[in-house]
Amino acid sequence: MIRLIRALVIVEAATFLIAGALHLGVSVPLASVIGEPLIPQAGGPESVIGLVLVAGAVASFLRGRGARWTLVGTLVFAILGTLVGISAINAGLGPRTDAGEVYHRVILASLVVTLALTLLAGRAVRSLGGVGRPA
């Protein structure tokens, strides 16, 4: 299950980094087709969330309880950051786009699933007498 969790976190991190780059005006091949507007107030936080998720992905390769809880913390951070982004859009603090609406819903669901898998994997390892590393 750890391979699935790692893959999810890496893809989630990549999508945040790409979204951040697009919203900061960086030309990203293929992703530029989406036509997202410049939204610098979103680009910075998205990039930070992406980098934090990269740290979580790195933690997933380490052993021990601390590594798993680092991954859990990065996922919770990303979920909260996504909820702040959704709230900002709903409050009219940024433009509402179809791509943005879909992205926020999909990434939020993905992050919640990844968090649940991480917690379940850690629980399974503990029940087998492991050291707390996701299985």
* DSSP string of the chain, one letter each residue: -HHHHHHHHHHHHHHHHHHHHHHTT---TTGGGG-PPP-HHHHHHHHHHHHHHHHHHHHTTS-SHHHHHHHHHHHHHHHHHHHHHHHHHHTTSS---HHHHHHHHHHHHHHHHHHHHHHHHHHHHHHTT--S---
**Residue 84 or residue 40, greater confidence:** 84
- For residue 46, what are the domain limits? 2-127
Establish if 134 belongs to a structural domain. Answer: no
Instruction: Name 100's Cβ contacts closer than 8 Å, sequence gap at least 6.
Output: 36, 89
Tell me: pLDDT of 31 over 70.
no
Establish if 89 belongs to a structural domain. Answer: yes
Establish if 52 belongs to a structural domain. Answer: yes
Establish if 34 belongs to a structural domain. Answer: yes
Establish if 117 belongs to a structural domain. Answer: yes
Establish if 133 belongs to a structural domain. Answer: no
Establish if 135 belongs to a structural domain. Answer: no
What's this model's pTM, rounded to 2 decimal places?
0.86
Domain count, the chain: 1
Mean pLDDT across the chain: 86
Establish if 132 belongs to a structural domain. Answer: no
Tell me: pLDDT of 73 over 90.
yes
